C-alpha cells in the first residue's frame, strides 16, 4: 500500500494562500480520480479541488475555516489492495476506475420521466452531464467528455447576475399558485427540473402545458413570476446579538482593495443618457420566438453587450488601460459582466467577445452567469478584462455612477427598462425607456470620446437593426 500526499495547489495567477471552506470527504472514504475533495476560497473565487488519486482517504490535516499557504499538506490518500479492502463496501465501486461519479439528481430526474419521454430524457441527460474539475496537469483525459455542454441556466440569473434563492422564501405555494398540488409523478425533462430548482419553483404546483402533459420551460417561468411577487415581503426579526463582526478576507478583501485603488487612482468622469428602448424590447421578443435561440435565455442585457462591442470598435480608446509609461489600446474585447454572488461582487469576462455572433454571445452570457451563481468562476475567467457592464436595472435602479474595474478605462451601467411617457413625432406615447450611465478614466478618455461612445451604445438600444450593418 502506498500513501499519496496532496498539497494545496496554486489554482491560478500565482495566488499564495486560500481558506479551507468545506471538506467533501472524511477519513475512510473511498475516492476516485476527479472526485471533489474540498472547497477552498481564494482571493478571487470559490474553487473545488478534485482528487488526482484513487484510493482511501487517510488523514485530513487542515480543518475547515483555516487559511493556509500554497504547498501546505492538506490530505493523504492510501492506494493499493489494503486500502481497497478497508473501504466501506458501498464505496468500493467509486474506486474501481477513473470515471467521475454520475450526478444522482440527474439520474433521479431522468427516471421520473422515463415512462413517456425516455428517449429524449436520456439524450438531455447526456447533454447536461458535466465534466468534473481537473487540476492542471493532473487527472486523465479519457474521463473528460467531448460533447459541448448545453447551457440552460435560469433567466433571472442571466439578466440580473444575482444569485438565485437557495430555497423558497415567503408563504407556501398553495397560497399563491393557481392550482393545487398534482397527484402522481410530475412529467418534466431534466433541464426543466434543474431550472425549477434554481428558481425555487415547486413543480407539483405548476400547471403543465406540454404536448404529453409535461411541464415546459414557459410553465416554470410563469410559476417563478407568480412566486417572485412574494419573495421579498418577509422581514426577519432583529438578531439577538447587537453587533456582527465579519472578517475582511477572501473575495471581500480583494473587492475592497480593488475599489479603493480604482477610485483614488483613476479620475472618474460619468455621463448619463435616457434612451427609448422599445425596439430593443421588440427585438428581444422576436429572438425569444426564434428557433435558433431555443433553450437560451435572451434579455436586453444581450443587446447591451452587443451594443458595447459595436461602440468599442468605433471608439477604441474606451477599451484601453493606463500605465505611467504608456496607454495600451486593446483591439479585442474581453467583456466583463459585474456579478452579485453570495460571496461578493465579481467581474468575470467573456474572452474575445468581438468575434462572437449574437447567438454565441447569448450562450457565453448564460454560461458566465451560471458559473458565477454557482460560485465556480475561476481566477482566469476574472482576469484580463477590457471593459465592463453592470446591470443595475434588475434591482429597480434607474442609473448610477459605477466605479471602474481596476485596469480598465470604461464601465457602463444599464438601468431598469420600464414604460414611461415619451414624445414620439410630437405626440406623448407610452414607451419602454431606460437610462444608461457610464464612467471613464479621464486620463485616457476625453469627454468627446466618452460622449460619442455612449451615444453609439444608445443608438443601438434605440434601433437594434444597426447591428446588422
The answer to pTM > 0.75 is no
- Which of 131, 191, 195 lies closest to 157 in space, CA to CA? 195
The whole-number pLDDT of residue 136 equals 40
Lowest mean pLDDT among 77-86, 110-119, 167-176: 167-176
Give CA 252 to chain center in angstroms: 18
Give buried/exposed letters for 269-292 (b at 16+ CB in 10 A, else e). ebbebebbbbbbbebbeebeeeee
Which residues, including other chains, have CB under 8 Å from residue 155's CB and lie 6 or more apart?
221, 297, 299
Residues with a catalytic annotation lie at 442
Which residues, including other chains, have CB under 8 Å from residue 245's CB and lie 6 or more apart?
none
The alpha-carbon radius of gyration of the chain (Å, integer) is 25
Q: How many C-beta atoms surround the C-beta of residue 28 within 10 A?
A: 13
- Residue 311, all three cell numbers: 461602440
150 pLDDT above the threshold of 70:
no
- Residue 427, all three cell numbers: 405626440
Which residues, including other chains, have CB under 8 Å from residue 298's CB and lie 6 or more apart?
284, 287, 288, 362
The whole-number pLDDT of residue 92 equals 38
Assess contact for 171 and 177: CB atoms under 8 A.
Answer: no
What are the structural domains, with CATH classification, of the chain? 2-95 (2.40.50.100), 103-133+170-229 (4.10.320.10), 250-468 (3.30.559.10)
Question: Could you tell me which residue, 126 or 395, shows the higher pLDDT?
Answer: 395
Q: What is the pLDDT of residues 23-80, one digit of tens each?
A: 999 999 999 988 889 988 876 667 788 888 899 999 999 998 888 888 899 999 998 6
Question: Could you tell me which residue, 199 or 89, shows the higher pLDDT?
Answer: 199
Average the pLDDT over 412-433 and give the result. 93
In degrees and rounded to multiples of 5, residue 27 shows phi and psi of -55, 135
Q: What is the pLDDT of residues 160-175, one digit of tens each?
A: 444 444 444 443 443 3
- The chain-wide mean pLDDT, for the chain, equals 77
Amino acid at each position: 500500500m502506498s500513501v499519496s500526499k496532496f498539497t494545496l495547489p496554486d489554482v491560478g495567477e500565482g495566488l499564495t494562500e486560500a481558506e479551507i471552506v468545506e471538506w467533501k470527504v472524511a477519513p475512510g472514504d473511498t475516492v476516485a480520480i476527479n472526485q471533489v475533495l474540498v472547497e477552498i476560497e481564494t482571493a478571487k473565487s470559490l474553487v473545488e479541488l478534485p482528487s488526482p488519486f484513487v484510493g482511501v482517504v487517510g488523514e485530513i490535516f487542515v480543518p475547515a475555516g483555516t487559511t493556509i499557504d500554497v504547498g501546505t499538506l492538506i490530505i493523504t490518500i492510501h492506494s493499493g489492495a489494503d486500502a481497497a479492502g478497508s473501504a466501506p463496501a458501498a464505496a468500493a465501486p467509486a474506486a474501481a476506475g477513473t470515471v467521475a461519479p454520475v450526478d444522482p439528481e440527474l439520474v433521479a430526474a431522468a427516471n421520473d420521466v422515463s415512462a413517456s419521454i425516455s428517449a429524449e430524457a436520456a439524450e438531455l441527460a447526456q447533454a447536461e452531464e458535466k465534466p468534473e474539475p481537473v487540476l492542471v496537469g493532473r487527472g486523465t483525459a479519457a474521463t473528460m467528455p467531448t460533447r459541448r455542454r448545453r447551457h440552460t441556466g435560469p433567466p433571472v440569473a442571466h439578466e440580473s447576475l444575482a444569485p438565485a434563492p437557495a430555497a423558497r422564501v415567503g408563504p407556501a405555494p398553495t397560497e399563491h399558485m393557481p392550482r393545487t398540488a398534482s397527484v402522481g409523478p410530475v412529467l418534466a425533462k431534466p433541464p426543466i427540473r434543474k431550472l425549477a430548482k434554481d428558481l425555487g419553483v415547486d413543480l407539483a404546483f405548476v400547471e403543465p402545458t406540454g404536448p404529453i402533459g409535461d411541464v415546459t420551460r414557459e410553465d416554470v417561468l410563469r410559476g417563478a413570476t407568480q412566486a417572485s411577487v412574494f419573495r421579498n415581503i418577509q422581514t426577519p426579526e432583529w438578531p439577538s446579538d447587537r453587533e456582527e463582526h465579519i472578517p475582511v478576507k477572501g473575495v471581500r478583501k480583494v473587492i475592497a482593495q480593488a475599489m479603493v485603488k480604482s477610485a483614488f487612482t483613476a479620475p472618474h468622469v460619468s455621463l448619463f443618457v435616457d434612451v427609448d428602448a422599445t425596439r430593443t424590447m421588440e427585438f428581444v421578443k422576436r429572438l425569444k420566438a426564434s428557433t435558433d435561440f431555443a433553450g437560451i435565455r435572451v434579455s436586453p442585457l444581450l443587446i447591451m453587450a452587443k451594443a458595447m462591442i459595436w461602440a468599442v470598435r468605433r471608439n477604441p480608446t474606451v477599451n484601453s488601460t493606463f500605465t505611467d509609461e504608456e496607454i495600451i489600446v486593446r483591439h479585442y474585447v474581453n467583456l466583463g459582466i459585474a456579478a452579485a454572488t453570495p460571496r461578493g461582487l465579481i467581474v468575470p469576462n467573456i474572452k474575445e467577445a468581438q468575434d462572437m455572433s449574437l447567438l454565441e454571445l447569448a450562450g457565453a452570457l448564460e454560461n458566465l452567469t451560471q458559473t458565477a451563481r454557482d460560485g465556480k468562476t475561476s481566477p482566469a475567467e476574472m482576469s484580463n478584462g477590457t471593459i465592463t457592464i453592470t446591470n443595475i436595472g434588475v434591482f429597480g435602479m434607474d442609473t448610477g455612477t459605477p466605479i471602474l474595474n481596476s485596469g480598465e478605462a470604461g464601465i457602463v451601467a444599464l438601468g431598469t427598462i420600464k414604460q414611461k411617457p415619451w414624445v414620439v413625432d410630437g405626440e406623448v406615447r407610452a414607451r419602454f425607456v431606460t437610462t444608461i450611465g457610464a464612467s471613464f478614466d479621464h486620463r485616457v478618455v476625453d469627454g468627446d470620446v466618452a460622449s460619442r461612445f455612449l451615444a453609439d451604445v444608445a443608438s443601438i438600444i434605440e434601433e437594434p437593426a444597426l447591428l446588422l450593418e
